[in-house]
Amino acid sequence: MKSTVKAALAAAVSLCAVTAAQAETIKMAFIDPLSGAMASSGEPAYQSFILAAEHINANGGVNGDMIEVVGYDNKVSPKESLVQLQKAIDSGARYILQGNGSSVAAAIIDAVNKHNQRNPGEEVLFFNYAAVTPEFTNEACSFWHFRFDAHTDMKMNGITDWIAARDDIKKVYLIGQDYVHGEAVAHAAETQLAAKRPDIEIVGNELHPLAKVKDFTPYVQKIISSGADAVITGNWGQDMTLLVKASADAGQQIPYLTFYGGSNGAVAALGDGAVDTLYQVSELAANMEGVSPEQNALVEEYKARFPDYDYYYHRAFVALNMFDAAAEKAGSNDPIDVAYALEGLSIEDGYGTATMRAEDHQIQQPLYITTVAHDMTYPVDNTDLGWRLVEGGTISAEAAMEPSTCEMQRPE
């Protein structure tokens, strides 16, 4: 009798072991601000990754394995991020998701490079979904890093092309956050404007402290007194929202050309003042014609699940879908196999074809210049305003493409 129980137990245990081996979890560590001033950027991204993972899991997972996204709060600090990165790796995460802050991304790339060199067989991949400093896919490129967002120079090309076609813009003001990203944006704007419209005068080039400014009124007053016809900014998170809030308070009516005008709350802060003054260049054009019903359903599902935010981090879905496709193509969930399979991979994405360029691990996809308009199918910030594609605002993947100086070192 006793032996039968033992046998049954043993059988049960081994059965458990077998099922566990069949469906393992792929741990993905999401390291970004989940508290403080920039949490309004981190939180919706986290939710986007969770939703993307749920969709993949519901469709049978990645080679049968389930994705689990775990959040680690880094408070936008590179130092804190490295602590969280170590915690994540120790808990078994082999895939790192991060995007808010190029200063943080630089630290993670460096740490991941070192980790992979020291721990062969336990490699970690870094999926960067928003840190856009061009260096990461140029001179500082790494085999372990993949960027799922267009970088500064690519986005700036869209903005400067738009400005070049507008003869009424003679003076441009640059304002940005005082760290590597803000500097890169200002540099790109200066060089590209000088090439495309040498007659344009840059009347201000201001860098303010990152996530510290509570009242942008003095900055906006400076912009007004400079007589600028347009403002270019790479601000994100609270720095974006508060900047346009101060601009709206001052009744300013000039175009703001932004990377992240879609930051949560920016449109609401401007209200009607956002119409045809707030512009954004991104991979997302939610109200564009010809988007597949599946993609529109996803936008609706996101809003229903997370009513505080809007569908904004499309690139989170692109990143996980490409990961899924790469892993299935390789027939393995091991980071090195996935990395090789990702190189050159193309997927049909909701708003166009996305390709991971092999030479520098920089995604290539169409970009869209959008501005705020009334009566959109998918409004944002719980207003009736939404993002409308501007005329001629589609930048094809080929047009957005930038050359790279990357000399990729691949493991054998």
Partner 1 sequence: METLVFALLNGVIYGLLLFMLSSGLTLIFSMMGVLNFAHASFYMLGAYLAFTIMEGTSFWIALFLAPVLVGLVGMVVERYGLRRVHAQGHVAELLFTFGLAYLIDEVVKIFWGRTAVNYRVPELLDFPLFTLYGAQYPAYRIFILFVAAFMLVALWYLLKKTRAGLIIQAALTHPHMVGSLGHNVPLIFMSVFGVGCALAGLAGVIGGNYFVTDPAMAVQMGPIVFVVVVVGGLGSLEGAFVAAMLIGLLQTSAISINASLADIFGFLGLGPHTEVGEITIASMAPMLPFLLLVLILMIRPRGLMGEREV
Determine, following the binding rule CB under 8 A, whether residue 214 of this chain makes contact with partner 1. yes
Q: Rounded to an integer, what is the distance from CA 91 to the centroid of its chain?
A: 25
The site string for partner 1 over 257-296 (x = CB under 8 A, - otherwise) reads --------x-------------------------------
Binding of residue 128 to partner 1 (CB under 8 A): no
Contact status: 76 vs partner 1 (CB under 8 A): no
> In this chain, which stretch among 132-140, 144-152, 216-224, 255-263 interacts with partner 1, using CB under 8 A?
216-224
The residue among 78 and 273 lying less far from partner 1, judged by its C-beta, is 273
Return the CA Rg of the chain.
Answer: 22
Asked if residue 305 binds partner 1 (CB under 8 A), the reply is no
User: What are the residue ranges of helices labelled H in 132-254?
Assistant: 152-164, 180-196, 217-226, 238-249
- Residue 273, Cβ neighbours under 10 Å: how many? 18
Instruction: Specify whether the CB–CB gap between 28 and 93 falls below 8 A.
Output: yes
- Rounded to whole angstroms, the Cα distance separating 229 from 231 reads 7
Among 178, 190, 359, 402, binds partner 1 (CB under 8 A): 178
DSSP secondary structure code for residue 158 in this structure:
H
Annotate each residue in 180-209 with x if it binds partner 1 (CB under 8 A) or - if it does not, as one string.
Answer: ------------------------x-xxxx
Maximum C-alpha span of the chain: 94
- Contact present, 208 and 179 (Cβ < 8 Å): no
Mention every residue, 6+ apart, whose C-beta is less than 8 A from residue 188. Answer: 134, 152, 153, 156
Min. distance of Cβ 245 from partner 1 in angstroms? 9
Pairing of β 385-395 and β 367-374: antiparallel
Q: How far is the CB of 195 from partner 1 (least distance, A)?
A: 22
208 vs 361, which CB is nearer to partner 1? Answer: 208
103 binding partner 1? (CB under 8 A): no
* Binding residues with partner 1: total (CB under 8 A): 31
Interface of this chain with partner 1, residues 239 to 258, rule: CB under 8 A:
242, 249-252
Minimum distance between the CB of residue 178 and partner 1, rounded to whole angstroms?
6
- Judged by beta carbon, residue 121 or residue 251, the one nearer partner 1 is 251
By CB under 8 A, the residues from 7 to 36 that bind partner 1 are: 34-36
CA distances from 290 to 287, 294, 352 (A): 9, 12, 10
Q: Site for partner 1 (CB under 8 A): which residue of 28, 31, 39, 186?
A: 39
Query: Binding to partner 1 by residue 218, rule CB under 8 A?
Result: yes
Q: Residue 220 CB: number of other CB atoms within 10 A?
A: 22
Query: What is the nearest approach in angstroms of partner 1 to the Cβ of residue 348?
Result: 34
* Interatomic CA distance for residues 129 and 319, integer angstroms: 7
Q: Should residue 225 be labelled a site residue for partner 1 when binding is judged by CB under 8 A? A: yes
Q: Which of 116, 152, 160, 238 binds partner 1 (CB under 8 A)?
A: 238
Distance CA 222, CA 206 (A): 10
Backbone phi, then psi, for 406, in 5-degree steps? -65, 135
Torsions phi, psi for 360 (to 5 deg): -140, 5
Task: Pick from 222, 332, 337, 383 the residue near partner 1 by CB under 8 A.
Answer: 222
Q: Tell me the C-alpha distance between 386 and 398, whole Å.
A: 27
* Interface residue list for partner 1 (CB under 8 A): 34-37, 39-40, 43, 178, 204, 206-209, 212, 214-215, 217-222, 224-225, 238, 242, 249-252, 265
